[in-house]
Structures are given as C-alpha cells and as structure tokens.
Amino acid sequence: MKRLISFHLKQWCLRPDRKPLILRGARQVGKTHSVRELGKLFETFVEINFEELTDARQIFERDLDAERILRDLSILSGKKITSGETLLFLDEVQEAPRAILALRYFYEKMPELHVIAAGSLIDFAIDKVGVPVGRVQFLYQHPMSFLEYLIAKQQYLLAKEILYSSFEKPLHDVIHKKALGLLGEYIAVGGMPEAINSWLQTNDIGECAQIHEALTSTYVQDFQKYTKKFQLKYVELIFERIPQLLGKTIKYTHFSKEYRKRELEPCLDLLIKANVTHKVTQTAANGIPLGAESSFEKFKLIFLDVALAQTILGLDIKKWFLDPGIEFINKGSLIESFIGQEMLAYDYPTHIPQLYYWQRETRNSQAEVDYVTSLENKVVPIEVKSGEGRTLKSLREFLASHSSSPFGIRFSVHNYSKIENIHSYPLYAVASILGLDKSAIVDLTDA
C-alpha cells in the first residue's frame, strides 16, 4: 500500500545535509512497513528490532563508539553495514534508549550512513534519555488517510479527480455519490493498515471488526508500559471515555466526577504522548501562528482513528454500507473527528501536529467553529456539517469578527460550491484544500 510518508522518506534519503531520522507515530500505523519499503531502494537493508533481538540492546550498553556499534550490528545481522549503501533500521528503539543517544555519533562520525529509528512508544524513551539536539530529524506518521485508502483500492482516477476538483469544477453528481459511498466505507474500515489490508483481501467487514478489537486491546495492554501502577485506572477510564466526548469542549468532570483534574490531567497527557488521542486547542485566531493566542485550558479531543473510536463505542459499522447517508447525519461528532484526522494526515510530517478551534462565549450567545487553520498565511475557519444542515451562523460570525480572514470553509455531504465568502467542499475532499504538501499527494496518486 502506497503511503504519503514514503515521499518524505525518499526526500530525506536524497538530502546532502541528511541527519539520522526518528520516525514517530502510534502503534500499528505502518511505520515498519514504510521503512521496509524504503529499504528496497538500497543495496543492503539491515533491520534491528529490539523487541525481537533482545541481545542487540547490549551492543549499545558498552559505549557509543559508532564504528564498533556498526561492526557488532553487522556481525549480529549477518549483513555488512556500509555508509551510502545500507539503510540501517532500528525498530522498537524504546527498548534500547541508548540507541537513541547513539544517533548523535552516527551523524558526527558517519554522516553518509542512512539510519532510521522508530518505535511505537519512542517519545517515552526520549523523555528518559533526551534527544541529540541538532543531530537528528523527525517525521510523524499517521493512520492511512481517505486518499491513501482510495489508492489502496486502485481508485487512481477518482483520487486525482478529488485532488484537483474545486467549486469552479465540481464533480458530476454520479461521481460525487460514488465518492461519498467510498467515504462511508472508509469510516467503517478506518485508517489502520492491517484493517484496510484485511478488507481489500477478504471484503469481510466482520474480519475488520475483529482487527479493530485486537488493536484496541493492544493499546490497552501498552498502558502498563508507560504508566505508573496507580495511574492505570485513570488512563483506562480516559481511553474509554474519549470516543464519547468527540466534538465537545473537555472538562475533566466529563471523564469522572469521582476523580480530580490533578489525577486525570497527567494521564491524558500520557495518551497524547502515545499518539492515541490528539488535542484540538481553543484559539482566538486573530493571526498566525494560531498557537500564540491559544488557551491550553480549553480543548477538544479526537481519537487516533474513527473506526477504533466506533469499536470502543460498540457501534455497528455495517450500517455504513447499508445507508451511509443516514450514518453521516447521525454521526456528526464522529465526522468532525474524521476531518481532524484528515487534517493531521495531510499536514507536513516534519513537525508536531497541532489542531485548533475557535469558540466565543457571551451571556446571550455562543459561537464555535470546529477547526481553524492557516492557508497562504491567512487564518481560515472550518465548519463540518455531516448532515443536510446548511446553517453556518458560527462560521459567518467568525468571518464578521476576523476581517483578515478572506473566506471560510464548509465540509459537508454536498458537492463543491461557493456562496460569497463561504467555500463548500465535500467531506471527502480535505486533501484538495488542506493537503499542504501537494507534491507528496501527487506522487501518491501516480499509478
């Protein structure tokens, strides 16, 4: 399956000022597969998985001499590691934190060596040992986006049409309906590569549901790896509650009235660090950067993947195949979360992803815009309408109070259109307007 991250991995390989790379992202989003695909471009690919090869950890305990480490890894793997010819992949590197420190010496002593470190809980290891500042680069990988899903289904022409369509050139109604149907399918299957691969191979949504159950269990099992014993019950509680709170401004009493913020807040931070959930932070959105006027006490949450969220909620995903139109109407908060998931997937993967929303509360009225982003150095508000509703009161209030914002965006089940300064796009077209690195997306759509 072709992934957006592959474009950026190839670009990293070609850079003359390349540094060792740390690939971050939640468990099971496809990091290992992506690096293995990259490894096919090299004469030699050496993969060291520290969960499987526990003895490999000892190689980094003696000292951090780069030449000795590579010599020992070559002997252990049975493959000669040569700068410029070999891709060295250190997987599940959180099990050997000193290997993270060794990246500095690979860069200083062997700058031509291609080396990538990855791990599902790597951020926790970085907290323990630090990171070689200025000696490494980062990329972030997310679940598969809707566009990646279309490519996996070999819907190349539709993917390109979505990417280049606009309100000046809308899709034909027949194609629009097909795209919405495939979007409903995607929301049922989700963006986790294992579930998508199963769906493509078996066309059995029941098999996908079993994979979703297994994946959520895996995330729960991981809690013991990064939480203290007394925190475990809080982390489990928050994990179960997040899908119920999609689209809502979070108060810690939403998780439990029994426990206090000081008990719950650090545990939510752990789930964010594990990339299981992402914050959508409130901002006044008067200018760029959006974070300059953000209020970290006010935030919403989106879950890692819409299908996994439905699994935790116990929803019947088969309904997305029977009548997707009704499901779009009934699952407004889930669709809002899907748009956030898409925005993360199409953002530049070189920095920590950030999402923002706008909210104004007064005694007589309340206005809220689901997301706020920056396009061409302008603040642009985004409203998500999953059903037939056409009221855009909050979006218009935002534009009236933010004169520097040139237009607003509505994502809905409707086709492309434009009325005054409101640009409307179908729910499936996030990549066409918010795909910040179009070259990566174009590369993806090449059959």
51 phi, psi to nearest 5 deg? -75, -35
Residue 343 has pLDDT above 70, yes or no: yes
The model's pTM is 0.95
Same-domain pairing of 430 and 361: yes
- Euclidean distance between CA atoms 416 and 165, whole angstroms: 8
* Boundary residue ending a domain (140, 169, 190): 140
Same-domain pairing of 136 and 189: no
pLDDT at 391: 76
Burial class (CB in 10 A: 0-12, 13-18, 19+), 377: exposed
pLDDT at 389: 58
- The one-letter amino acid code at 15 reads R
Angle at 41 between CA 38 and CA 43, to 5 degrees: 125
- Euclidean distance between CA atoms 248 and 372, whole angstroms: 16
Same-domain pairing of 196 and 48: no
Residues 6+ apart with CB under 8 A from 166: 416, 432
C-alpha 67: how far from chain center: 36
pLDDT at 58: 96
pLDDT at 400: 95
In this prediction, residue 111 has a pLDDT band, given cuts at 50, 70 and 90, of very high
Burial class (CB in 10 A: 0-12, 13-18, 19+), 264: buried
In this prediction, residue 390 has a pLDDT band, given cuts at 50, 70 and 90, of low
| Domains of the chain: total | 2
- The one-letter amino acid code at 240 reads E
Pairing of strands 277-283, 294-303: antiparallel
Given CA atoms 325, 330, 334, 335 in this order, what sign does their dihedral have?
positive
**pLDDT tens column, 152-208:** 999 999 999 998 888 888 899 999 999 999 999 999 999 999 999 999 999 999 999
Structure tokens at 43: 């004469």
**pLDDT tens column, 395-428:** 999 999 999 999 999 999 999 999 999 999 999 9
Average pLDDT over the chain, rounded to an integer = 94
Residues 6+ apart with CB under 8 A from 147: 4, 159, 162, 163, 346, 431, 435, 441, 444, 445
- Domain residue limits at 32: 4-140
**pLDDT tens column, 2-32:** 999 999 999 999 999 999 999 999 999 999 9
Same-domain pairing of 225 and 247: yes
**pLDDT tens column, 227-237:** 999 999 999 99
In our burial notation (b when 16+ CB lie closer than 10 A, e otherwise), range 414-427 reads: bbbeeeeebbbbbb
Q: How much of the chain, in percent, has pLDDT values that exceed 70?
A: 98
Residue 364 has pLDDT above 90, yes or no: no
**pLDDT tens column, 131-144:** 888 899 999 999 99
In this prediction, residue 447 has a pLDDT band, given cuts at 50, 70 and 90, of low
Distances (CA, A) of 29 to 3, 155, 158: 11, 21, 24
Query: Alpha helix locations (H) across 276-323?
Result: 306-313, 319-322
Residues 6+ apart with CB under 8 A from 276: 26, 219, 239, 303, 304
Same-domain pairing of 130 and 150: no
* Boundary residue ending a domain (140, 159, 185): 140
- The one-letter amino acid code at 91 reads D
DSSP 438: H
Structure tokens at 295: 């209020």
Residue 267 has pLDDT above 90, yes or no: yes
Same-domain pairing of 307 and 200: yes
CATH number, domain with residue 131: 3.40.50.300
144 phi, psi to nearest 5 deg? -65, 135
C-alpha 28: how far from chain center: 12
pLDDT at 444: 77
Distances (CA, A) of 322 to 85, 276, 319, 401: 51, 29, 5, 42
**pLDDT tens column, 416-425:** 999 999 999 9
Closest CA to 224 of 214, 233, 215, 216: 233
pLDDT at 434: 81
Return the top range by mean pLDDT from 195-199, 374-378, 382-386, 434-438.
Answer: 195-199
Helix, strand or coil, per DSSP, at residue 86: strand
Same-domain pairing of 109 and 173: no
* Boundary residue ending a domain (140, 167, 199): 140
Same-domain pairing of 80 and 180: no
Structure tokens at 314: 């116990």
**pLDDT tens column, 310-340:** 999 999 999 999 889 899 999 999 999 999 9
Same-domain pairing of 122 and 235: no
- Euclidean distance between CA atoms 114 and 83, whole angstroms: 7
For residues 44-58, give the mean pLDDT.
Answer: 96
Helix, strand or coil, per DSSP, at residue 82: coil
For residues 363-384, give the mean pLDDT.
Answer: 91
In this structure, which long-range contacts are made by residues 289-298, counting pairs with CB atoms below 8 Å and at least 24 apart in sequence? Answer: 289/374, 290/354, 290/356, 290/372, 290/373, 290/374, 290/379, 291/354, 291/356, 294/356, 298/249, 298/359
Closest CA to 279 of 291, 287, 289: 291
Same-domain pairing of 294 and 236: yes
Same-domain pairing of 237 and 133: no
DSSP collapsed to 3 states, 14-48? HCCCCCCEEEECCCCCCHHHHHHHHHCCCCEEEEE
pLDDT at 362: 74
Closest CA to 158 of 167, 146, 168: 146
Same-domain pairing of 426 and 320: yes
